[in-house]
A = this chain, B = another copy of it.
Amino acid sequence: MKDGPDIAQIAALIGDPGRANMLAALMSGKALTAGELASEAGIQTQTASGHLSRLEEGGLVIRNKQGRHHYFQIADADVAGVLEALMGLAAKKGQLRTRTGPRDHELRLARVCYNHLAGDMGVALFDRLKAGGALQIDDAGIILTPKGQDRLDALGIQIDTKSRAPMCRECLDWSERRSHLAGRVGRAILDHVYAEGWGSRVEGSRIVRFTGTGSAAFTKAFTF
């Protein structure tokens, strides 16, 4: 019984932290699976599934079933526009609000994003790989160059050949507004960090804490 279009309904849909985080993750433009989105939002898959159904019904995202994966994307440019406007506004107001505490600082430095490395160090890694010619990026996606493969071999990093996940994928995170590396290669590198003891995941959080020497070794390993 209201006058205009139902702006409250749409806003409420965006107004839940879980859903908002998923939408923000989707703003990279890439299609993500339900599981990845759950991870990104820090909630269980069942909860995420429910959220995604509602977002789909509300016309904010579209679902694309491929095999046993459900890929989600922002529905259209209008939806993206709304999110963009919201992010701009939130960023402006946010400066005064969110004082980045010490804990938060670690989170920005290095954290787990699904199964790969995000945060400052993740972005830096991506940049070095790109600059060093280990990755080649074009419209078709990202591929690991022979030079990159050689480096991984030299380090003793083995890529999971069974998984069907793409080798390399770009993943945008909003703390940096920059891309970092996802996909099988991203995963293998993070596993290597654990295996070498360069860093380890902080219990009950998404933070990856590097040791002093680990941090240096990590940087050196991927410098060209």
A5 to nearest B CB, angstroms?
Answer: 3
Closest chain B residue, CB of each to CB of A92:
B78
Within the complex, what minimum Cβ distance (angstroms) separates A119 from chain B?
A: 9
> In the complex the two chains form, is A6's CB within 8 Å of B98's CB?
yes
**A4 in contact with B86 (CB, 8 Å):** no
| Complex: A17 Cα to B92 Cα, angstroms | 25
Question: For the complex, is A94 an interface residue (Cβ under 8 Å from B)?
Answer: yes
Find residues 41-93 in chain A having any chain B CB closer than 8 Å to their own CB.
42, 58-59, 78-79, 81-83, 85-93
> In the complex, which residues of chain B have a beta carbon less than 8 angstroms from the beta carbon of A111?
3
The answer to whether the Cβ of A2 comes within 8 Å of any Cβ in the partner chain is yes
Interfacial residues, chain A to chain B (CB-CB below 8 A): 1-17, 19-21, 23-24, 42, 58-59, 78-79, 81-83, 85-94, 97-98, 104, 107, 111, 113, 118, 173-175, 205-206
Give bound CA distance, A9 to B24, whole Å.
13
Chain B residues whose CB sits within 8 angstroms of the CB of A21 once the complex forms: 2-3, 8
What CA separation (Å) do A113 and B8 show in the bound complex? Answer: 19
Bound complex: CA A81 to CA B2 (Å): 21
User: DSSP class of A's interface residues: helix, strand, loop or mixed?
Assistant: helix
| Residue contact B1 to A24, C-beta cutoff 8 Å | no
List the B side residues contacting A90 at CB < 8 Å.
4-7, 9-10
Instruction: Kindly identify which residue among B20, B42, B79, B88 contacts A8, using a CB–CB cutoff of 8 Å.
Output: B20
Given contact pairs A11-B14, A12-B12, enumerate 19 new A-B contacts (beta carbons under 8 Å).
A1-B107, A3-B24, A4-B90, A4-B174, A5-B91, A5-B94, A7-B14, A7-B83, A8-B16, A8-B20, A10-B15, A10-B86, A10-B89, A11-B12, A11-B86, A13-B15, A14-B15, A78-B92, A79-B89
- Which residue on chain B has the smallest CB distance to residue A6? B90
Task: Looking at the assembled complex, report how far the CB atom of A31 sits from the nearest CB atom of chain B, in whole angstroms.
Answer: 19
